[in-house]
Structure 1
Amino acid sequence: MKSVYLEKPNVLRIEEIKEPIRKESEALIKIKSVGICGSDVGAFRGSNPLVSYPRIIGHELAGEVLEIGENKRGIKVGDKVIIDPYIYCGKCYPCSIGRTNCCEDLKVLGVHIDGGMVEMFTHPSEMLYKVPDNIPWEQIPAAEPLTIALHAIHRTHVKAGEHVVINGAGAIGVLSALSVIAYDAIPILVDIIDERLQFAKGLGVKYIINPNNEDSIKAIKKITNGRMAEVVIEASGANSAIRNTIDYVSYGGRIALTGWPKKETSIPTDMLTKKEIDFEGSRNSANEFEEALRLMSKGTVDVKSVISKVVTLDQVPEAVKELSEHPERYLKINAIL
C-alpha cells in the first residue's frame, strides 16, 4: 500500500509498504482523508526535535472501519470514524487523573511513531470516534486541530462575553477564534500576516491586529475599554508572542500556551504576581473529539472555510513542500484517498 514516507528532513515521497495486521484490541481502517498539520511541516523541515527518522507522517486521520473486535464505544464495521492520535500509557500520574494528553510517555502519530498517511491503518479501537454522516470526508480531519482549540478554551474556562486574544492566525488560531465565537465570547486575533487576518475577518472575526502596523497593546486596551483581555491563547509558538501574552492579559486574567516554542522564553515573573495571572499549559487535547464533531455537524464551527486546498495522497509530498515554503497562502491542506 502507499504511504507518505519522510526519509529525512526535506526528503518526502510516496513509498510502498506492507499492509498492517490488526491486533485484537485494534481496528483496521481504510483511510479516506488526512490533514497536513504544522507538525508534519516541522518534521519535513527538520525543525521538530521530537521527530525521529525515517517516519511516516500524519495524525489528522479519518476513515472507514473494515475490521474491529468488541469495544466500549460501539464502533462497528462500516462506521465513519476519526482517529485520536495521542497514544497514552494509561499508567502514569497524568493518565490516572484523566489528563492523557500529557502522559509521561505520550506517543503522537507521525511524530514519535509512524502516522497514518497510508491507505490502511490499525489503531486502538477505544481511540476512535464515530463521525456524523453529514460531515464530508474532506472536512473530517479538521476535527483534530479543532480539539486543540477547544482544549485551550477549556483550560482557560472561557465565559460568554469575555475578550479572548489569540496570538497566531494559522489553522489553530483561526479555529480558536471561531470556537470563541461559538462560546459567545469575543475573539481578538493577532498576527503579522495581513492575508491571514483579512481571511479571518471574512469569517466573522471582528477584531484583528497586526503588531507590525499598530500598537497591539493600545489596540487591545481600546477594544476592551481599558481592561485588556480576560483570556489570551498563544497559538503561534513565537517567543515574542509568548512574551506579549503578559501585556495583553488583564489583571486576574488567564493565559493558555498552545504554541510550541523552539527555545525558552524570558518572561517578567514580577508581572505574573502583580497581575495574578493564571498560566495554563495546553497540550494537544483530551476528550474533546465529541464536542468538535458536534460543533462541525451543527455548522456552529465551519471548518470548510479553513480548508484552503484538497489534494490526493500522491500529491501530499508536494503539498507539504508548498505549505513549508509559502505558509501565508494556506491555512489547511487536506487530502482525499
Structure 2
Amino acid sequence: MKAAVCTGIGSIDIQDIPRPVPGPGEVLVRIKSVGVCGSDVDGYRGKHPMIGFPIVLGHECSGTIAEVGPGVAASRLGEAVTVEPFFICGTCPFCLAGTYNFCSDLKIIGHQVQGAFAEYMPIPAEFAHLKPDTVSFDEAAIMEPCSGSLHAVQRCRIQSGDVVVIIGCGTMGSFSTQHCANLSAEVIVIEPVAFKREAALELGASHTLDPETDDLVAAVSRITNGKMADVVIEAVGERETLVETVSLVKNGGTVMLIGWTGNDTDPFDLTNTTFKELTVLGTLGFCRDFPTSMKLLAAGKVDIERIITHHFDLDHVQEAIEQLEAGSDGVWKSVVRVS
C-alpha cells in the first residue's frame, strides 16, 4: 500500500509498504481524510518524545472499514468511521476503571504505531466510531481535537455565565471556544492572527483580544468589571502564554493547560498560584468523549468546516506539515485526502 513514511528529521518519502492485517478485535480502515496536527510537526522535526523513525505520522483520521479481524462482526465491513487513535491493553487498573487514556501500555497511532498518512491502517474495533451520513469524512477526521478539547473543557466544570479566557485560537482553542459557548459561558479569546479573531466571534466568543497590541490584564479586567476570568484555558503551549495564565484568572479560579511546550520544566507564577488559591489542571487526550463530540457535530453545535482551510493529497504530506510549521498566511486546519 502507499504510505508517507517519515524516515528521519525533516524527511518524508512516499513508499509502497505492506498492507497491515487486522489482529484479534481490530479492524482495518481504508483511510479517507487525515487532519494535520502540531504533533505531526514535532514528530517530523524529531522533537516529540513518543515519536521515533521511521514512522507513518497522522492520528486525526476517518475512513471505511475494509477488513475485520478475528472476533469482530462481519457486519461492520463498509462502515464509515472516525478513529479514536488509541491502542490500549484493556487489563491494567486504569483500563479496568474506564480511564483508558491512562493505560499503562497506551500506544497512539502516528506515534508508537503506524499512523494514518497511508492507504490503510489497523485500529481496535471499539475505537472505530460510526460516522453519521450527515457528517463528511473531513469533519469526521477532526473529531480527535474536537474530543480532546471537550475533555479539557469538561474538566474545568464551567457553569453558565462563567467568564472563560482562551489563549490561542488554533484547532484546540477554536473547539474550546465552541464548547464553552455551548455551556453559555462568556468567552474571551486571545489570538494574534486577525482572521482567527474574526472567526472566533462567529464560533461563539463574546470578545477577542490581540496580544500584540492589547494590554491583556487591563482588557480582561475591564470586560469583567475587575473580577477577572473564572477559567483560563491555555491552548498554545508556549512559555510566554503559560506565564500569562495566572494574571488573567480570578482568586479561586481555574487554569487549564491544554498546550504543551515539550519541556520538562517551564516558568510558572507559583507565588500567585498559591496566594490566589488557584486550581491548575492538566488534560490527557480523551476518554469516552468521541461519541459526545459526534453528537454535538451532528446537531450543529460544533462547526468543523469553518476551521478547515487547506487540502492536500497523500503525495504532499510533507508540504502540508511544513506549511503548518511555517504558520503560512491563512492556514488554520489542513486535511490530507488519502482516497
Q: Does the TM-score normalized on the shorter chain lie above 0.5?
A: yes
Partner of 2:314: 313
The answer to whether 1:285 aligns with 2:283 is no
Change (3 A) 1:113 1:270: same
Partner of 1:217: 217
1:139 aligned counterpart, secondary structure: helix
Q: Is the 8 A contact 1:71 1:126 kept in 2?
A: no
Q: How does 1:82-97 map to 2 (within 5 A)?
A: 82-97=82-97
Partner of 1:235: 235
Whole-Å separation in 2 of the counterparts to 1:84 and 1:162? 30
Whole-Å separation in 1 of the counterparts to 2:178 and 2:236? 16
Q: Is the 8 A contact 2:35 2:141 kept in 1?
A: yes
What number of residue pairs does the alignment pair up? 336
Whole-Å separation in 1 of the counterparts to 2:3 and 2:44? 15
Whole-Å separation in 2 of the counterparts to 1:290 and 1:134? 15
Change (3 A) 1:245 1:71: farther
Query: Which stretch shows the higher mean deviation, 157-166 or 82-91?
Result: 82-91
What do the CA deviations read for 1:50-109 (whole angstroms, capped 9, x no partner)?
A: 21111100101111112335459x972121111111223334443343222233432221
Query: Which stretch shows the higher mean deviation, 231-240 or 267-276?
Result: 267-276
Q: Is the 8 A contact 1:143 1:293 kept in 2?
A: yes
Query: Which stretch shows the higher mean deviation, 293-302 or 258-267?
Result: 258-267
Whole-Å separation in 2 of the counterparts to 1:245 and 1:254? 9
Residue 192 (structure 1) shift: 3.0
Q: How does 1:12-161 map to 2 (within 5 A)?
A: 12-68=12-68, 70-71=71-72, 76-161=76-161
Letter in 2 for 1:185: A
1:175 aligned counterpart, secondary structure: helix
Q: Is the 8 A contact 1:312 1:335 kept in 2?
A: yes
Q: Is the 8 A contact 1:33 1:61 kept in 2?
A: yes
Letter in 2 for 1:298: A
Q: Mark the runs of 5 or more structure 2 residues left unpaired by the alignment.
A: none
Partner of 1:6: 6
Whole-Å separation in 2 of the counterparts to 1:334 and 1:216? 33
Partner of 1:185: 185
Partner of 1:194: 194
Q: Is the 8 A contact 2:26 2:72 kept in 1?
A: no
Partner of 1:275: 276
Whole-Å separation in 2 of the counterparts to 1:250 and 1:86? 36
Residue 266 (structure 1) shift: 2.1
Letter in 2 for 1:49: P
Partner of 1:296: 297
Change (3 A) 1:262 1:328: farther
Q: Is the 8 A contact 1:138 1:310 kept in 2?
A: no
What do the CA deviations read for 1:20-74 (whole angstroms, capped 9, x no partner)?
A: 11212111221111111111111122222321111100101111112335459x9
What do the CA deviations read for 1:163-194 (whole angstroms, capped 9, x no partner)?
A: 11111111111111111112221221112333
Whole-Å separation in 1 of the counterparts to 2:295 and 2:75? 17
2:180 aligned counterpart, secondary structure: helix
TM-score by length of 2: 0.93
Whole-Å separation in 1 of the counterparts to 2:49 and 2:119? 27
| Structure 1 stretches of 4+ moved >4 Å | 69-72
Whole-Å separation in 2 of the counterparts to 1:201 and 1:182? 13
Change (3 A) 1:250 1:75: farther
Change (3 A) 1:47 1:296: same
Partner of 1:251: 251
1:310 aligned counterpart, secondary structure: strand
TM-score by length of 1: 0.94
What do the CA deviations read for 1:147-178 (whole angstroms, capped 9, x no partner)?
A: 11101111111122111111111111111111
Whole-Å separation in 1 of the counterparts to 2:72 and 2:163? 42
Whole-Å separation in 1 of the counterparts to 2:118 and 2:192? 35
Partner of 1:334: 335
Whole-Å separation in 2 of the counterparts to 1:191 and 1:262? 21
Whole-Å separation in 1 of the counterparts to 2:189 and 2:160? 17
What do the CA deviations read for 1:180-222 (whole angstroms, capped 9, x no partner)?
A: 1122212211123334323323444231112220110111111
Partner of 1:168: 168
2:302 aligned counterpart, secondary structure: coil
1:89 aligned counterpart, secondary structure: coil
Q: Is the 8 A contact 2:27 2:72 kept in 1?
A: no
Q: Is the 8 A contact 2:168 2:236 kept in 1?
A: yes
Letter in 1 for 2:48: N
2:18 aligned counterpart, secondary structure: coil
Change (3 A) 1:100 1:37: same
